[in-house]
């Protein structure tokens, strides 16, 4: 039974110094420190359960997200959880349509990241009170209840609530069998951990060989800083993984439109499946131009990790600007907004391949993509979820990967709860990790 009044919201600035090892480095983000604004919700219920949510950042600026979370907190504190989930669409709209805060959004940027952190914590609390992992909570929902969580404003020209209901109704057929399939085999994944741009060739080789031994068949390489170096590294990776395995490219928004076409055309010999984020994430027509130009080469366009909201995704789909859609569990407005994008992707018949490169993103997005297969898409064709092998040891319920696949979480909640020792050590700037680093810098 869902219940309890939310009596407090706390948010902490957590940072992990991943830049020291070159982890996460790409053509645009050369020194990322994987970080998060980490939210904790407490209620007056007797169950002692707490909700944990986060939004992913790269270090500097996390303090700004923390400020935004605190600015939104009054929408949450003193609200009854049962009232929130019974009118989740209304609550979502209340958060995203704050009459003053929306001016510095709306539904994008820092305020939307903060919204995601709060809503992720609400969903975690709801799933825990129901005693289910989040993917199972979603799978077990009646279609009408599920749709009541979604704000369809701004997207009805692409997907109406009636169309979404029909999709979910059709998804009921074979749902039990697909859930059993997930529990047995998991959801297919690809790895980004072998080929960060800041890694040496020797490290790339070692990690790639280990990944092959562990059964990985899908690999992504970062590109975009230097064409000749990209060609050398892509050749090296292709030689390591062989012609039968899948290779993807990721430019992290580095190029202009024509530059992207020319650059990727020169990398076509390595047979990449897609080029990810070739240009500005806001440039819908630019992505459409790139998609059209690269189609004859058999290279698709993938994007989405920095798409502000469902409206950008709507336009990318309408413009036929992408062949692989990459939702993010913390960039969009949590589960609520991601549900709308999953349903639009189903209508437009575009495969969803989530972004998960960052602290906690694998833990969260696995729930969404498992739900998508069971209740929405019903297909694994051209579908895979990113996996990055960093920082899982800091989570109470870390991802489980078997045979290069995500195994469905079994613990109640959204898998977003971190170990308290890790939180204390990495809280910025008072945590032990940052105190030691700052002391070392003074020497």
The answer as to CATH 2.40.30.10 being correct for domain 168-420 is: no
Taking CB atoms within 8 Å and a gap of at least 24, the contacts of 62-67 are 62/13, 62/14, 62/15, 62/35, 62/36, 62/37, 62/428, 63/13, 63/428, 64/110, 65/37, 65/110, 65/113, 65/114, 65/117, 66/11, 66/12, 66/13, 66/37
Catalytic residue among 128, 136, 222, 426: 222
Contact 355, 365 (CB under 8 A): yes
Residue spans of beta strands (DSSP E) within 232-378? 246-250, 274-276, 300-303, 324-325
Question: Residue 390: which residues within 8 A CB-CB, separation 6 or more?
Answer: 18, 23, 24, 34, 193, 359
Query: With a threshold of 0.75, does the pTM exceed it?
Result: yes
Which pLDDT value is given to residue 339?
98
CATH 3.30.390.10 residue ranges of the chain are: 5-154
Which pLDDT value is given to residue 443?
57
CA distances from 315 to 108, 193, 195, 328 (A): 15, 31, 31, 17
Which pLDDT value is given to residue 424?
96
Which pLDDT value is given to residue 440?
84
Distance of CA 396 to the CA centre of its chain: 19
C-alpha 306/C-alpha 107 separation (Å) is: 13
Sign of CA dihedral 180, 185, 188, 194: positive
Residue spans of beta strands (DSSP E) within 270-398? 274-276, 300-303, 324-325, 385-387
Which pLDDT value is given to residue 25?
87
CB count within 10 Å of CB 229 equals: 12
Structure tokens at 243: 């012609």
Kindly give the parts of the chain with pLDDT less than 50: none
Contact 19, 32 (CB under 8 A): yes
For residue 390, indicate whether it is catalytic: no
For residue 222, indicate whether it is catalytic: yes
Contact 291, 320 (CB under 8 A): yes
Longest CA–CA separation in the chain, Å: 65
Catalytic residue among 287, 308, 355, 394: 355
C-alpha 235/C-alpha 217 separation (Å) is: 16
Superfamily of domain 5-154: Enolase-like, N-terminal domain (3.30.390.10)
C-alpha 360/C-alpha 304 separation (Å) is: 17
Looking at the DSSP assignment, which residues form a beta bridge with residue 276? 250, 302
CATH 3.20.20.120 residue ranges of the chain are: 168-420
């Amino acid at each position: 039974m869902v219940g309890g009044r939310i009596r407090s919201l706390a948010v902490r600035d957590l940072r992990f110094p991943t830049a020291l090892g070159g982890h996460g480095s790409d053509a645009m983000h050369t020194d990322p420190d994987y970080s998060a604004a980490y939210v904790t919700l407490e209620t007056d219920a007797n169950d002692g359960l707490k909700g944990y949510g986060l939004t992913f950042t790269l270090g500097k600026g996390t303090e700004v997200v923390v400020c935004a979370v605190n600015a939104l907190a009054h929408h949450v504190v003193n609200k009854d959880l049962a009232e929130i989930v019974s009118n989740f669409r209304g609550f979502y709209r209340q958060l995203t349509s704050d009459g003053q805060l929306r001016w510095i959004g709306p539904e994008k940027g820092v305020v939307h990241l903060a919204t995601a952190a709060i809503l992720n914590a609400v969903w975690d609390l709801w799933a825990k009170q129901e005693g289910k992992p989040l993917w199972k909570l979603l799978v077990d929902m009646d279609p009408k209840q599920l749709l009541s969580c979604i704000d369809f404003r701004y997207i009805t020209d692409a997907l109406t609530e009636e169309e979404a209901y029909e999709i979910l109704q059709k998804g009921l057929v074979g749902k039990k069998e697909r859930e059993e399939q997930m529990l047995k085999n998991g959801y297919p994944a690809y790895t980004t951990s072998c080929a960060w741009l800041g890694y040496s060739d020797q490290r790339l080789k070692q990690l790639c060989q280990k990944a092959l031994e562990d059964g990985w068949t899908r690999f992504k390489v970062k590109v975009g800083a230097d064409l000749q170096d990209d060609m050398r590294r892509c050749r090296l990776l292709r030689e390591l993984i062989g012609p039968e395995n899948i290779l993807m490219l990721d430019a992290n928004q580095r190029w202009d439109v024509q530059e992207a076409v020319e650059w990727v055309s020169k990398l076509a010999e390595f047979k990449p499946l897609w080029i990810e984020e070739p240009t500005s994430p806001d440039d819908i027509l630019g992505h459409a131009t790139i998609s059209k130009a690269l189609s004859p080469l058999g290279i698709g366009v993938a994007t989405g990790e920095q798409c502000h909201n469902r409206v950008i995704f709507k336009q990318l789909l309408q413009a036929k600007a992408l062949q692989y859609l990459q939702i993010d569990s913390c960039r969009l407005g949590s589960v609520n907004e991601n549900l709308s994008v999953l349903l639009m992707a189903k209508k437009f018949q575009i495969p969803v391949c989530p972004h998960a490169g960052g602290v906690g993103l694998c833990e969260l997005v696995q729930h969404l993509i498992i739900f998508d297969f069971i209740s929405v898409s019903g297909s694994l064709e051209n579908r895979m979820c990113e996996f990055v092998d960093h920082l899982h040891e800091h989570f109470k319920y870390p991802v489980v990967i078997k045979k290069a696949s995500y195994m469905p979480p079994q613990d109640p909640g959204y898998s977003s709860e971190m170990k308290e020792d890790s939180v204390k050590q990495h809280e910025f700037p008072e945590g032990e990790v940052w105190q030691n680093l700052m002391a070392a810098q003074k020497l």
